[in-house]
Chain A
Amino acid sequence: MRARYACQSQDHSANRRRFLGALSGGLMTGGLHCLTRGATAADLKARDMRVVVFNMHGGLSQLESWDPKPGTKTGGPTRAIPTSVPGIHISELLPYTAQQMHHLCLMRGVNTSEDDHGKGAYLMLTGRRQTPAADYPQIGAVAAKTLSDEAKGLPGHILITPGGGGGRGNEAAYLGPKYSSIALGGDKPPQNSVKPEGISDEAEVRRHAFRRKVNDQFLSRQRSAITDAFTFSYEQAIRLMERRDVFDLSKEPAADLERYGNNDFGRQCLLARRMLENGVSFVQVFHSNYDTHNENFNFHIEQLGEFDKPFACLISDLAQRGLLDQTLVVVLSEFGRTPNINLYYGRDHWSRAWTVCLAGAKVVRGAAFGATNTEGTEVTEGQVDHGQLFHTYLQAVGVDSSQSLFVDGREVPIADPAVGPIWKVLS
């Protein structure tokens, strides 16, 4: 399979945009020999796009991951290793991921100028700076609104957190709670998606049939938009229960579980794969915690050691099953970490020059876009911000980000109209 590149023209070198490995990254060099079973792209509609976001909670160090600076004052002990794309080197803490580099696109020139956890998370997920004057929906809610097919009976916005927390809140803003996430605790299916204990299958059918009849009696006398919404919510719930196996990790082969690493994050990645294959349009997986003000290097060895293999497996599986063309993968944080190493061998919050990793959908493969200076303190090329990235996510899955959403007759620009997508990384 040839990787697709949008940027082989002279214009880009003239624009000082750099695509390392653009000429040589096209060979399949996947080193994991991942299995290729399960659904294939043929089962899915061509425009059936989806998104998976890895939220590296706390702020992943770009210097220990996507943009290492070995041998410099700021580089610390982390070395760089070659990847499947000649010319692109990433941190030695990501050896499996390095083998999947030909699927990835590193955005090394991210500058978001926001060093606060809450505000950083807000702008990375909504594509806009937080202001008390307005609220914007997160990428998950927008994806659910624009990509999800209600007829499938699956929730369009899934959040996997270790404890199942989160959800509702305000992540859907004006799109309304309908597009708020359904939070899964670790690898468990959605809450309340199994009938109560002690109810037989027969009784389950019977009680819902009865409920419908009782409702019909009432609705024949009093029916309105709000009662319609109420009725619909039950039909949605029942469809979700019917499709509960989509969330059932035990249906995946044991060999896959072994391959992903039978640990929390591995199971969550496998569950993410299962849901994406079954047509869930948006999954966000939390990986915590990267807020390494102390012992940055030890923490990253540990955290990325957990992250690397399952993530690489997921990328490889998606690619081999033909799903990567329809799935945008984003690895983001609220910000990066300081090039400066503090007294406690830690790195602090740093949003002026860090990296976001993209893969799949219409994003070019095997590329590194933008660059930082030798010590990683400034962006020297290809500077982008949260707003441009947000446009790019949407464009990558075929949503015209210059368009507006119609929300109950209101027209709202889907992404910040002041900026646009980064066309250079879109094929």
Chain B
Amino acid sequence: MADDQKYTIRENAEGRAKVFVASCDKCTIRVMPKWSSLPGPTMVVVGGRMGHHIKTRVAGKLWAPANLPAYRETAMKIAHPNVSRGCAFRICRGFVTVLITFVHFLSLTAAGQGEVNTESAAVVSPPGTETAQPSLPDAGQVQSESLPLWARIDAIIPKLIEPLTAPVASDGELLRRLSLDLRGVTPTREELDAFVEDKSPERWQKYVSRFLNDPMCDEHLVAFLDRTLMLRRPHAQVDRASWLNYLREQVASNLPIDQLSKQLLYSPWWNRDQRSSQRFYLDRAGDPNLIARDLSRVFLGRDIQCAQCHDHPLVADYTQIDYHGLLAFVSPSNLAESVFKDAEGKDQKTQQYIERAANDAPFESVFEKGVRFRSGPRLPSQPEQFEEYLPNADRYVAAAPPNAIAGVPLPPKQSRREQLADQLTARSNPSFVANWSNRFWAMVFGQGLVQPLDMEHPDNPPMQPELFALITSGLIEVDMQPRRFVEQLVLTQTYQRGGFTALQVATASSTPSTLTEEQCQAIRSATSAPADELITNKASMVAAEVAALAEYESAREAWRSVQAERATIRAELDAAEAAMLAAQKKSTEAAAALTNAQKSQTDTQSRIALLDESATKLQQAVDLAGGEDAELKQAIAVAKQRAEVARGQIPTIDKAVADASALVDATKTPLQESTANVQAIIVKLQPVHMRLLASDNTMLTARVKWSTAHSALIVTERGVQRYAHTLAWLAGVELLKRSIDEVNQSAQVVANVDAEIATANSQVAIAQTQIVVAEQAQQTSATELAIAKETMERHSNELAQLRMALDGLAVATKLVNAPGQLAAAQQSLQAELNLRSPNAGQLQAAVDTAGLALATAMTLVAQRKQELTSQQSALELIHQRLATARESLMAKQAESAATKEASFQQWGTVYDDCSQQLSVAALQALTPEQLCWSTLRVTGRLDASIQTELLELDKLSPLAANADEPTVAARRRQAVRQAYDKLRGNADVFVSLFASGADKTQDDFFASADQALFTANAGSIFAWAGPENNNVTQQAIELTDSTQIAQLIYWTLLCRQPTVEEKKLIVEQLAAEGDKRNSLIQEIVWGLLASAEFRFCR
């Protein structure tokens, strides 16, 4: 998936030309170019099954972006099979589309030379090209035989540098992995405790062998074989119990996988004893096409279904002849009904997968109508087998074999099915051995060295070719016994690697990578080797590949012409055989007619003789009696007349005999001629067969040579890609670092502005206080002014009254003429007035002063208010700055989140690369069965059920107290089998939800809502998490300390101790409601069962 994301199509790119190329009713091929801004001479083709990529190199200048028309034309040539035979490559898989994209190879042309001209390069075989195909095992060739296989595996894996190589996993993680891989269940807590306690140096070896001998290992291997061989197809012909018991027996007896395969592919089909071992055929309904596909898919690791109708349009190495060669092995077989007597003597119907004598049908490519081919039985990697020609009367055995069901057809003398079983499963068949070693490797390591497991071809070579060759020969070293092979794999150091810890946390968390510059540099230089190699060897590798391809293509052409010749002669043979059969039929008919005629002749003659004789006898009687008996005379006349009639018929009958005899003679010649003709054609066919064999051999040799060269190129290119991934990741980490810095800076700016706001706020507060003070002062001044004014007013009122009184007195003085008293009053008033008058000036001054003070106070208030306004507007400005700063911070944070996500994606790619390089454990999802049995185990259900079965068995037949170890082990094995059979209904539910549909590849992971609904809400899982039989929940309930509860549950379910945060989480969870402790603990156990960590294994 990660790869696909890199090759998304640019919508508006001018180069997005879509070229619809060809279609049959099964495949559609499109070629769609995508221009990269980085031109280069290499093209990558992405396609194939989900998540799978096939990369094909294109040499030459043609692919420069500027050259669109030429590109189109060539794209047509590439994808159109008619033209493609002469073309430099073919592209990936059927009914899929091809995305073509250029990858960055600027580094290759760094010297500024422009495009690499591959045409002129010399043909030099690059180093390492011999490793793409698994070399055939050869006792003398196996290196360092003294070292065990596991040690050689460790030694052959190229070491990556420390930061990209994970340390050994923790004890709990190790044991969980080992137990899941060998037994299909998680370990018990007792096993975990003992493992941790065990300090002996041979601890690992001890547990490996203990788990391998556990009966659960048998169940796990049986499930693996069932899934691999039958792809969860339904049980139609062979019931499940018989099939599983059959597999159990084979697993228990450590039957080598090649012998098991051979049994599955051939066993006597004419009786009912070995039906279970025929399930591979029977439950594929005997459909030859389905079987041919699955023979290749299951046993050879190559899904060549697309090659049924034409050479695979996208995988150069999957050819139509491979498909039809395989088909020829099984096309004479089909399901047929027969009837047998059951134990009670009643008739029962059964379907048997019977075999008839072969008669190969011609086939043609849907793209090349009219060009017909034939193929006899032929394995993809081996030349065609030519059978001895048997006349049709001689093709079946003469008598039914012993134990054959009455009425089944006789078996043919030449059994192609038997040939298939012999040849396909031979240890000298590299694809077969490699397929099984890859499948067992994937079972243990979570992914195959060739991935997908059934897509092995030169565009998808093994991740580590040397290692692949080693394990392939290694499988034979251990006699192809699954248990022994798996043992070697889990004993490796490589197997015991953990995941990345600090490094990954650094990338995934918000803090930037803790990688030092030295480490980065080390990572760069450690991963740059393939790129360097490619720079050095590219031209020669490409040239070697191109030359090998040319050789292969010309060998193919030669083979095709011989094939065409053979097809013609075979067609003649068909016609001649048909003519011979017709002649035979005529001859048989003529002979029968002659026999009839002769019989009729004999009959007539004997009848005449009888009539004559009776007439003679009667005459004698008449003569004796005196010749007067009328009745006798009458009888004589009748006899004579009848004899006469019969005599009259004789010429006709004689003629008929003669005619028939002539006809017999006449048919002899055509029969002889047609037989001779058949013989002649068979003779004529012989040299053609010999030439075909020779050309097939030449072609196969050339094919291996080409695929080796091509694989080497792909392997190198993968290395370059890994380098690019690493560079991108390191750059991403830098970017993330920078981005986090920027976020921090922005946050600092926000903090600074916040601080400014605090200052400004306090200033505003001060200003506000000052205003209050000033206003108070103003208030005081105003009051004082008012008082002064009032005083002054009162005073002037008094003065005015005095003056008025004085004036009145003066008038009165004039009128009354009594000046004395009045004058005294006037004087006293005058004196009073005089006394008070100067006060007016003082009062006025006081008023003036007060007025002045008020004015000052008012000015101050105004000033303070103005100051406040300015403070406030300053504050407003700071607030605006804060908003801007916050916005900028959010933008930076969003940007940083995106960078983090990108960095996470890049890290994911690097992680995948590292896990392919085996420097870190890959994260793998548990199979549905593993998930079910593990859930049942951690909740105590599985072991309780085994105990129950043991008790039951002991009740039926108690074991002696001194029973020896094998007896006890056998008893336990029996109990485990019974427990698994009883609990299998649960596994079926898991399979129905967590497994891909029948017939689909069973190793793709997917997560869907109904799985989650099941885990969340199906009564069973939540109920299993409840307390029972002293299981983990029960034990946790009895503990009081929340931390201890956390430790117990994490250790039992996830095989590790909780972190500090996790302990805290459990404590918090349990503190939620004290009175519902039991259900809280049940919820906790369920929560862990439903967690990602339980679903996966590293």
Contact = CB atoms under 8 A, between A and B. Distances in A.
Interface string B35-76: 000000000001111110100000000000000000000000
Given A129-B25, A206-B1072, A229 B290 contact: no
Contacts of B769: none
Contact of A170 (B47, B1000, B1088): B1000
Contacts of B306: 133-134
B111 interface: no
Contacts of B94: 133-134
A409 B1016 contact: no
Contacts of A229: 1005-1007
Interface string B973-1013: 00000000000000000001100111110000111111111
B409 interface: no
Interface in A99-153: 128-129, 131-134
B207 interface: no
Interface in B212-233: none
Contacts of A224: 908, 911, 923
Given A178-B1006, A191-B1013, A214-B1065, A409 B2 contact: no
Contacts of B1013: 190-193, 237, 240-241
Interface in B1002-1041: 1005-1014, 1016-1019, 1022-1023
Interface in B274-321: 287, 289-290, 293, 305-306, 308-309
Interface stretch (A194-202, A247-255, A314-322, A389-397): A194-202
Nearest to B1018: A192
B95 interface: yes
Contacts of B289: 132-133
Contacts of A237: 1009-1010, 1012-1013, 1016
A174 B96 CA distance: 10
B756 interface: no
Given A170-B1000, A410-B96, A132 B305 contact: yes
B556 interface: no
B279 to A, nearest CB: 18
Interface in B1062-1087: 1062, 1065, 1069, 1072, 1076, 1079, 1083-1084, 1086-1087
A206 B1006 CA distance: 27
Contacts of B1065: 210, 213-214, 217
B967 interface: no
A155 interface: yes
A170 B999 contact: yes
Contact of A220 (B95, B505, B908): B505
Contact of A418 (B23, B46, B508): B23
Nearest to B1022: A196
B501 interface: yes
A206 B1095 contact: no
Nearest to B1009: A236
A210 B1069 contact: yes
A416 B1018 CA distance: 40
Interface residues of B, number: 88
Interface stretch (B26-34, B137-145, B649-657, B857-865): B26-34
Interface in A184-231: 190-197, 199, 203, 206-208, 210-211, 213-215, 217-227, 229-231
A237 B1017 CA distance: 10
A217 B1017 contact: no
B1008 A178 contact: yes
Nearest to B98: A411
A98 interface: no
B1016 A177 contact: no
Contacts of B1072: 206
Contact of B1016 (A132, A195, A223): A195
A195 B1090 CA distance: 14
B1011 A233 contact: yes
A176 interface: yes
Nearest to B1013: A192
A223 B1061 CA distance: 18
A275 interface: no
B509 interface: yes
A343 interface: no
Contact of A226 (B1005, B1008, B1062): B1005
B1008 A177 contact: yes
B499 interface: yes
Nearest to B294: A132
Given A233-B1011, A408-B51, A203 B1079 contact: yes
A182 interface: yes
A222 B1010 contact: no
Nearest to B1050: A214
A19 B388 CA distance: 65
A196 B1079 CA distance: 13
Contacts of A222: 499, 504, 923, 1098
B933 interface: no
Contacts of A199: 1022
A176 B1000 CA distance: 10
A132 B1023 CA distance: 43
Contacts of A193: 1013, 1017
Contacts of A409: 1, 3-5, 7, 46-47, 51, 53, 99
A390 B415 CA distance: 45
B1059 interface: yes
A407 interface: yes
Given A196-B1022, A226-B925, A227-B923, A191 B26 contact: no
A342 interface: no
B304 to A, nearest CB: 10
Nearest to B2: A225
Contact of B1095 (A128, A217, A225, A230): A230
Given A206-B1072, A224-B911, A233 B1009 contact: yes
A79 interface: no
A175 to B, nearest CB: 10
B386 interface: no
B1090 A211 contact: yes
A169 B997 contact: yes
A409 B8 CA distance: 8
Residue among A133, A170, A215, A407 with most chain B CB within 10 A: A133
A132 to B, nearest CB: 4
B337 interface: no
A417 interface: yes
Contacts of B630: none
A412 interface: yes
Contacts of B98: 411
Interface string A374-418: 000000000000000000000000000000100111111100111
Contacts of B1006: 176-178, 229
A168 interface: yes
9 contacts: A134-B27, A170-B1000, A174-B50, A177-B996, A210-B1065, A211-B1090, A220-B508, A226-B1005, A237-B1016
Given A134-B27, A134-B306, A229-B1006, 19 more contacts: A131-B26, A132-B305, A170-B999, A195-B1016, A196-B1019, A197-B1019, A199-B1022, A214-B1087, A217-B1062, A219-B1092, A224-B908, A227-B1096, A230-B1092, A233-B1009, A241-B1013, A241-B1016, A411-B32, A413-B95, A417-B28
Interface of A: 128-129, 131-134, 155, 168-170, 174, 176-178, 180, 182, 190-197, 199, 203, 206-208, 210-211, 213-215, 217-227, 229-234, 236-238, 240-241, 404, 407-413, 416-418
Interface of B: 1-5, 7, 23, 25-28, 30, 32, 46-51, 53, 94-99, 287, 289-290, 293, 305-306, 308-309, 499, 501, 504-505, 508-509, 904, 908, 911, 923, 925, 992-993, 996-1000, 1005-1014, 1016-1019, 1022-1023, 1059, 1061-1062, 1065, 1069, 1072, 1076, 1079, 1083-1084, 1086-1088, 1090-1093, 1095-1096, 1098
State the 3 A-B residue pairs at the shortest beta-carbon distance, nearest first: A411-B97, A409-B4, A237-B1012
